Amino acid sequence: MELTGIVAHRPYPLPDAPWIMQQTWVDLLFAHWRAPASELRRRIPAELELEEFDGSAWLGIAPFEVVGLHPRLLPPLPLASRFPELNVRTYVRYGGKPGVFFFSLDAGSTLAVKTARTFFRLPYFRATMHIHREGEWLRFRSRRAQRGGAAFTARYRPLGPGFEARPGTLEHFLIERYCLYTGLLGPRIFRVDIHHAPWPLQRAEAVIDENGMAEASGLRLPDEPPILHFARRQPTLVWAPELVARRDGAGDAAR
Protein backbone atom coordinates (compact mmCIF):
# COMPACT_ATOMS: atom_id res chain seq x y z
CA MET A 1 0.00 0.00 0.00
CA GLU A 2 1.24 3.50 -0.81
CA LEU A 3 1.96 5.79 2.10
CA THR A 4 -1.05 8.00 1.29
CA GLY A 5 -3.27 4.95 1.80
CA ILE A 6 -2.28 4.65 5.48
CA VAL A 7 -4.43 7.35 7.03
CA ALA A 8 -6.63 5.88 9.78
CA HIS A 9 -4.23 7.09 12.49
CA ARG A 10 -4.22 10.73 11.38
CA PRO A 11 -6.04 13.33 13.52
CA TYR A 12 -7.26 15.15 10.38
CA PRO A 13 -7.43 14.34 6.63
CA LEU A 14 -4.58 14.61 4.16
CA PRO A 15 -4.35 17.95 2.30
CA ASP A 16 -6.19 18.15 -1.01
CA ALA A 17 -3.07 19.39 -2.81
CA PRO A 18 -0.37 16.92 -3.91
CA TRP A 19 2.69 16.48 -1.72
CA ILE A 20 5.88 18.11 -3.01
CA MET A 21 8.73 16.26 -1.28
CA GLN A 22 9.59 12.84 0.09
CA GLN A 23 12.30 11.92 2.59
CA THR A 24 13.07 9.22 5.13
CA TRP A 25 14.16 9.84 8.71
CA VAL A 26 16.61 7.25 10.03
CA ASP A 27 17.88 6.35 13.53
CA LEU A 28 16.01 9.13 15.28
CA LEU A 29 16.28 9.84 18.99
CA PHE A 30 13.46 11.76 20.69
CA ALA A 31 14.73 13.34 23.92
CA HIS A 32 12.09 15.32 25.84
CA TRP A 33 12.19 17.44 28.97
CA ARG A 34 9.43 19.17 30.92
CA ALA A 35 9.85 22.92 30.44
CA PRO A 36 8.25 26.01 32.00
CA ALA A 37 5.36 27.07 29.78
CA SER A 38 6.14 30.76 30.39
CA GLU A 39 9.68 30.30 29.06
CA LEU A 40 8.53 28.57 25.89
CA ARG A 41 5.61 30.96 25.47
CA ARG A 42 7.83 34.03 25.08
CA ARG A 43 9.66 32.41 22.17
CA ILE A 44 6.53 31.41 20.25
CA PRO A 45 4.33 33.68 18.11
CA ALA A 46 1.28 34.80 20.08
CA GLU A 47 -1.01 33.45 17.36
CA LEU A 48 0.02 29.87 18.18
CA GLU A 49 -1.36 28.07 21.23
CA LEU A 50 1.30 26.33 23.30
CA GLU A 51 0.13 22.80 24.10
CA GLU A 52 0.65 21.05 27.42
CA PHE A 53 0.28 17.46 28.57
CA ASP A 54 -0.66 16.64 32.14
CA GLY A 55 -0.05 20.26 33.13
CA SER A 56 3.42 20.53 31.57
CA ALA A 57 4.88 22.02 28.42
CA TRP A 58 7.64 20.02 26.74
CA LEU A 59 10.91 20.76 24.98
CA GLY A 60 12.32 18.16 22.59
CA ILE A 61 15.71 17.62 20.97
CA ALA A 62 15.91 15.12 18.11
CA PRO A 63 19.07 14.00 16.26
CA PHE A 64 18.65 11.80 13.18
CA GLU A 65 19.67 11.31 9.56
CA VAL A 66 17.72 12.34 6.45
CA VAL A 67 18.06 9.94 3.51
CA GLY A 68 16.50 9.80 0.05
CA LEU A 69 15.23 13.38 0.03
CA HIS A 70 13.75 14.29 -3.34
CA PRO A 71 11.07 16.53 -4.86
CA ARG A 72 7.95 14.90 -6.28
CA LEU A 73 8.61 13.24 -9.66
CA LEU A 74 12.36 13.93 -9.45
CA PRO A 75 15.29 11.77 -8.27
CA PRO A 76 17.28 12.54 -5.10
CA LEU A 77 19.29 15.73 -5.34
CA PRO A 78 23.11 15.60 -5.24
CA LEU A 79 24.55 17.14 -2.04
CA ALA A 80 21.09 17.46 -0.47
CA SER A 81 19.54 14.00 -0.42
CA ARG A 82 21.37 12.59 2.63
CA PHE A 83 22.59 14.49 5.69
CA PRO A 84 22.41 14.53 9.51
CA GLU A 85 19.90 16.82 11.20
CA LEU A 86 19.18 18.00 14.73
CA ASN A 87 16.12 19.93 15.84
CA VAL A 88 14.87 21.71 18.95
CA ARG A 89 11.09 21.73 19.23
CA THR A 90 7.93 22.17 21.23
CA TYR A 91 4.24 21.55 20.58
CA VAL A 92 1.59 24.01 19.48
CA ARG A 93 -1.86 24.25 17.95
CA TYR A 94 -3.49 26.60 15.47
CA GLY A 95 -7.03 26.44 14.08
CA GLY A 96 -7.63 23.13 15.82
CA LYS A 97 -4.59 21.43 14.27
CA PRO A 98 -1.84 20.29 16.64
CA GLY A 99 1.70 20.49 15.30
CA VAL A 100 5.39 21.01 15.98
CA PHE A 101 7.12 24.36 16.43
CA PHE A 102 10.88 24.43 15.83
CA PHE A 103 13.16 26.79 17.72
CA SER A 104 16.06 25.64 15.55
CA LEU A 105 17.05 22.99 13.02
CA ASP A 106 20.71 22.23 12.33
CA ALA A 107 21.71 20.27 9.24
CA GLY A 108 24.90 18.97 7.67
CA SER A 109 24.01 20.17 4.15
CA THR A 110 24.48 23.78 3.04
CA LEU A 111 22.02 23.35 0.15
CA ALA A 112 19.38 21.85 2.42
CA VAL A 113 19.78 24.72 4.91
CA LYS A 114 19.46 27.42 2.24
CA THR A 115 16.46 25.72 0.63
CA ALA A 116 14.62 25.21 3.92
CA ARG A 117 15.21 28.76 5.11
CA THR A 118 14.12 30.26 1.79
CA PHE A 119 11.19 28.06 0.80
CA PHE A 120 9.87 26.72 4.11
CA ARG A 121 10.84 29.75 6.27
CA LEU A 122 12.32 27.48 8.93
CA PRO A 123 15.20 28.49 11.26
CA TYR A 124 17.80 26.12 9.79
CA PHE A 125 21.52 26.48 10.54
CA ARG A 126 24.54 24.90 8.89
CA ALA A 127 26.46 22.61 11.22
CA THR A 128 29.38 20.22 11.09
CA MET A 129 27.86 16.85 11.90
CA HIS A 130 28.99 13.24 12.17
CA ILE A 131 27.08 10.01 12.82
CA HIS A 132 28.99 6.85 13.72
CA ARG A 133 27.45 3.45 14.33
CA GLU A 134 29.22 1.46 17.04
CA GLY A 135 27.42 -1.86 17.26
CA GLU A 136 23.94 -1.14 18.57
CA TRP A 137 24.97 2.36 19.64
CA LEU A 138 24.86 5.50 17.51
CA ARG A 139 27.19 8.39 18.22
CA PHE A 140 26.01 11.80 17.03
CA ARG A 141 28.15 14.96 17.03
CA SER A 142 27.08 18.41 15.88
CA ARG A 143 28.55 21.90 16.10
CA ARG A 144 26.82 24.87 14.51
CA ALA A 145 28.97 26.65 11.92
CA GLN A 146 28.97 29.99 13.71
CA ARG A 147 31.50 31.43 16.10
CA GLY A 148 30.72 29.85 19.46
CA GLY A 149 28.19 27.67 17.65
CA ALA A 150 25.83 25.45 19.63
CA ALA A 151 27.10 21.88 20.08
CA PHE A 152 25.49 18.53 20.78
CA THR A 153 27.30 15.25 21.44
CA ALA A 154 25.55 12.05 22.45
CA ARG A 155 25.44 8.33 21.98
CA TYR A 156 22.21 6.39 22.09
CA ARG A 157 20.63 3.04 21.32
CA PRO A 158 17.16 1.45 21.20
CA LEU A 159 15.92 -0.79 23.98
CA GLY A 160 13.22 -3.43 24.06
CA PRO A 161 10.47 -4.33 21.60
CA GLY A 162 8.87 -1.97 19.12
CA PHE A 163 5.47 -0.40 19.74
CA GLU A 164 3.11 2.30 18.48
CA ALA A 165 2.06 5.09 20.81
CA ARG A 166 -1.53 4.83 22.05
CA PRO A 167 -3.78 7.90 21.86
CA GLY A 168 -3.95 9.66 25.21
CA THR A 169 -0.40 8.75 26.23
CA LEU A 170 2.52 11.12 26.62
CA GLU A 171 4.48 9.55 23.75
CA HIS A 172 1.50 9.96 21.43
CA PHE A 173 1.22 13.64 22.40
CA LEU A 174 4.94 14.24 21.83
CA ILE A 175 5.54 12.22 18.68
CA GLU A 176 2.39 11.66 16.61
CA ARG A 177 2.29 15.08 14.92
CA TYR A 178 1.32 15.72 11.29
CA CYS A 179 2.21 19.33 10.61
CA LEU A 180 4.68 21.98 11.65
CA TYR A 181 4.36 25.71 12.12
CA THR A 182 6.87 28.42 11.26
CA GLY A 183 7.11 31.98 12.56
CA LEU A 184 10.68 32.82 13.59
CA LEU A 185 11.96 34.17 10.26
CA GLY A 186 9.40 36.86 9.52
CA PRO A 187 5.94 38.26 10.22
CA ARG A 188 4.01 35.46 8.53
CA ILE A 189 3.11 32.09 10.05
CA PHE A 190 2.98 29.08 7.75
CA ARG A 191 1.79 25.54 8.29
CA VAL A 192 3.60 22.66 6.56
CA ASP A 193 1.64 19.41 6.46
CA ILE A 194 3.48 16.10 6.62
CA HIS A 195 2.38 12.49 6.47
CA HIS A 196 3.80 9.15 7.53
CA ALA A 197 2.68 5.89 9.05
CA PRO A 198 2.39 5.66 12.85
CA TRP A 199 5.82 5.98 14.43
CA PRO A 200 7.57 2.61 15.01
CA LEU A 201 8.94 3.39 18.47
CA GLN A 202 11.26 1.75 20.97
CA ARG A 203 12.41 2.86 24.37
CA ALA A 204 15.94 4.25 24.31
CA GLU A 205 19.08 4.78 26.33
CA ALA A 206 21.30 7.80 25.82
CA VAL A 207 24.45 9.38 27.19
CA ILE A 208 24.46 13.10 26.37
CA ASP A 209 27.94 14.53 26.83
CA GLU A 210 27.35 18.04 25.45
CA ASN A 211 24.09 19.86 24.85
CA GLY A 212 24.01 23.59 24.12
CA MET A 213 21.02 23.47 21.79
CA ALA A 214 18.33 24.81 24.12
CA GLU A 215 20.57 27.56 25.46
CA ALA A 216 21.29 28.71 21.90
CA SER A 217 17.55 29.36 21.51
CA GLY A 218 17.32 31.28 24.76
CA LEU A 219 15.87 28.31 26.67
CA ARG A 220 16.95 26.24 29.67
CA LEU A 221 16.74 22.52 30.23
CA PRO A 222 15.77 21.28 33.70
CA ASP A 223 18.29 19.37 35.76
CA GLU A 224 16.60 16.01 35.22
CA PRO A 225 17.01 13.14 32.76
CA PRO A 226 14.97 13.29 29.56
CA ILE A 227 12.27 10.89 28.42
CA LEU A 228 13.75 8.93 25.51
CA HIS A 229 12.30 7.17 22.46
CA PHE A 230 13.95 5.77 19.35
CA ALA A 231 12.68 5.21 15.80
CA ARG A 232 14.69 3.24 13.26
CA ARG A 233 13.08 4.44 10.02
CA GLN A 234 10.18 6.70 9.01
CA PRO A 235 9.38 7.50 5.31
CA THR A 236 7.64 10.88 5.16
CA LEU A 237 5.78 13.08 2.67
CA VAL A 238 5.90 16.88 2.87
CA TRP A 239 3.48 19.48 1.48
CA ALA A 240 4.09 23.08 0.42
CA PRO A 241 3.85 25.76 3.14
CA GLU A 242 0.40 27.29 3.62
CA LEU A 243 0.01 30.82 5.02
CA VAL A 244 -2.24 30.67 8.11
CA ALA A 245 -1.63 33.95 10.00
CA ARG A 246 0.38 37.13 10.30
CA ARG A 247 2.25 37.92 13.46
CA ASP A 248 1.30 40.77 15.77
CA GLY A 249 4.90 41.28 16.83
CA ALA A 250 4.91 38.85 19.76
CA GLY A 251 7.87 36.55 20.29
CA ASP A 252 11.54 37.08 19.45
CA ALA A 253 12.95 36.71 15.97
CA ALA A 254 15.59 34.06 15.35
CA ARG A 255 19.10 35.41 15.49
Query: Average pLDDT for consecutive 10-residue bins of the chain (255 residues)?
Result: 90 96 97 96 96 96 96 83 96 97 96 92 96 96 90 98 98 98 91 98 98 95 95 97 82 41
- Predicted confidence at residue 147, as pLDDT, reads 73
Q: Name the H helices within 121-212.
A: 170-175
Give the model's pLDDT for residue 249. 53
Burial (0-12, 13-18, 19+ Cβ within 10 Å), 70 = middle
**Contact by Cβ (8 Å): 106, 123:** no
Structure confidence at residue 118 (pLDDT): 92
Which pLDDT score, from 0 to 100, does residue 79 have?
72
145 DSSP β-pair partners:
none
Q: What is the pLDDT of residue 42?
A: 94
pLDDT at 252: 42
* pLDDT value for 1: 56
Which domains are assigned to the chain?
A: 32-246 (2.40.400.10)
Distance of alpha carbon 41 from the chain centroid: 18
How far apart, in whole angstroms, are the C-alpha atoms of residue 60 and residue 103? 10
pLDDT for the residue numbered 77 = 77
